[in-house]
Amino acid sequence: MTHLALLIALAPMALAQYDFSWAPKYDVTKPPATAPAQPLWTQHFKQVNPTASYADVTTCNSPNPLVWGATFDDGPSPSTPMVLDYLRLPNVSVKASFWVIGANVQFLPDVLARTFAEGHEIGLHTWSHSNLTSLTDDQVISELVYSARTVYEITKVYPKYYRPPYGAIDARVRALANSMGLTAVTWNKDSRDWSYVGKSTLSEMISNVTSSFRGWMATQDPNGLSLEHDLYPDTAAAIPPSMDILIRAGRVIQPVAQCIGDATPYDNPVLKTFFANGFFDNPSLIASGGAGVRTTGPAGETGSNGAASGSSGTGSGTSVSGSSDGSKAKSLSTGAIVGIAVGCGAAALVALTAVLGIRYQKKKKADAAKQAQTLGGESAFVTAL
Ligand SMILES: [Zn+2]
């Protein structure tokens, strides 16, 4: 069988285990539209959980000052597997947080499945990467509902945490998300990797990003929460060397939920009950059954909100091996990649990468035009996804 024939044969198989028939349809060569609004969903969340109030997470507030939250945004992308390969190397072996875009997940579901299976934290990053502060209440709710539905399709869990695109958040958006049992997570260490895309060579990208990390290590600031992107090949390539710097400096890299002492990052009973009651597929049930339905779901959860308990953690200071050398990236690009390639899902990944590649080209062209929209220290280019 030729390579091409193998791709054609395997692509449907790779996707068959997931059902995205509920997902908004759009032209994959253009940015996805904002998720379709559903006023009944908004009515439901406002009625069942009107007073929820959770402060944004902006730092890894661990008792151990060396604990560091590493976050990677806007995937899954074709570059994500490389990052995963690095993170599981024996002399690295750390977990991080990935904030995924719903519209991207449906193209690379196996990549998200692998990310979750390897113990990394999955957080919501909306459906279309829209600026939530510019959307209506119904659109904000739908952006989060559709991204939650997407993540559930792959992982069978409902996250408690979301990251607003561009870090753009206000009291209204915060309250809407809180009503869904969701707590915002931003960052306090922006690598600004996005700002070098299309403007710098790969070596310049890595140099600029690692310079930021070295600077942070020099300040000895406790409990950093850093932002990088696994979206582009260049920004993803800067992740291993920047994590190396943290490890050499003795920082203990953890997912965000762990570093703030939350052992249950997917215990979101509000979302669980919402979906268990069929409100996603049949919003009319909200009108007829009452938005106040708090019936228990299949797992016996209640409608009470247990999100963001904020319970203090032990800050387990599991030390990470400080041994680190420049061979990591090299070993990654050979053996690990070959390991992926033999998997039957990899062939489909290659095919899907071609589809995403079209979108990336368009995204790069739109990058310059969208610079003016940059907010809160995160890139605007992903809006062109
Ligand atoms: Zn983003």
> pLDDT tens across 28-46, in order?
778 889 999 999 999 999 9
Q: Position of tokens 């228990």?
A: 296
pLDDT (tens digit per residue) in 47-92: 999 999 999 999 998 999 999 999 999 999 999 999 999 999 999 9
3-state secondary structure of 375: strand
Residue-wise DSSP of 30-91: SPPPPPPP-HHHHHHHHHHSTT---PPB-S---SSTTEEEEEEEEE--TTHHHHHHHHTSTT
**What rounded mean pLDDT belongs to the chain?**
79
Burial 57-87 (b: 16+ CB within 10 A, else e): bebbbbebbbbbbbbbbbbbbbbbbbbbbbb
> Among 145, 86, 83, 152, which Cα is nearest to 111's?
83
Best-predicted range by mean pLDDT among 27-41, 184-198, 343-357? 184-198
Residue 339 pLDDT exceeds 50: no
For residues 276 and 90, is the Cβ–Cβ distance under 8 A? Answer: no
Residue 16 pLDDT exceeds 60: yes
pLDDT (tens digit per residue) in 274-312: 999 999 999 999 976 544 444 333 333 333 333 333 333
* Whether 281 is catalytic: no
Distance 54 CA to ligand 1 centre (A): 21
Residue 374 pLDDT exceeds 50: no
What does pTM read for this prediction?
A: 0.76
Q: Give 185's pLDDT tier (boundaries 50, 70, 90).
A: very high
- Alpha helices by DSSP H, listed for 295-343, are 327-331, 337-341
Average pLDDT over residues 153-161: 98
Q: Give the pLDDT score at 28.
A: 73
Distance 87 CA to ligand 1 centre (A): 21
Q: Which two tokens stand for residue 17?
A: 């285990």
Domains of the chain: residue spans and CATH: 3-384 (3.20.20.370)
Distance 363 CA to ligand 1 centre (A): 14
Cα–Cα distance measured from residue 293 to residue 300, given in angstroms and rounded to the nearest whole number: 14
Q: Give 26's pLDDT tier (boundaries 50, 70, 90).
A: confident
Q: Give the pLDDT score at 326.
A: 29
pLDDT (tens digit per residue) in 279-288: 999 999 997 6
* Whether 73 is catalytic: yes
Q: Give the pLDDT score at 289.
A: 52
Q: Give the pLDDT score at 221.
A: 87
Distance 131 CA to ligand 1 centre (A): 10
Q: Which residue out of 44, 125, 129, 229 is catalytically annotated?
A: 229
pLDDT (tens digit per residue) in 243-253: 999 999 999 99
Distance 129 CA to ligand 1 centre (A): 6
For residues 267 and 306, is the Cβ–Cβ distance under 8 A? Answer: yes
For residues 344 and 39, is the Cβ–Cβ distance under 8 A? Answer: no
Q: Give the pLDDT score at 287.
A: 78
Residue type, 302: T
Distance 7 CA to ligand 1 centre (A): 30
Return phi, psi of residue 245, to 5°. -65, -40
Q: Give 15's pLDDT tier (boundaries 50, 70, 90).
A: low
Q: Which residue out of 73, 193, 234, 367 is catalytically annotated?
A: 73
Residue 5 pLDDT exceeds 80: no
Distance 351 CA to ligand 1 centre (A): 24
Number of helices (H), then strands (E), belonging to the chain: the values are: 16, 8
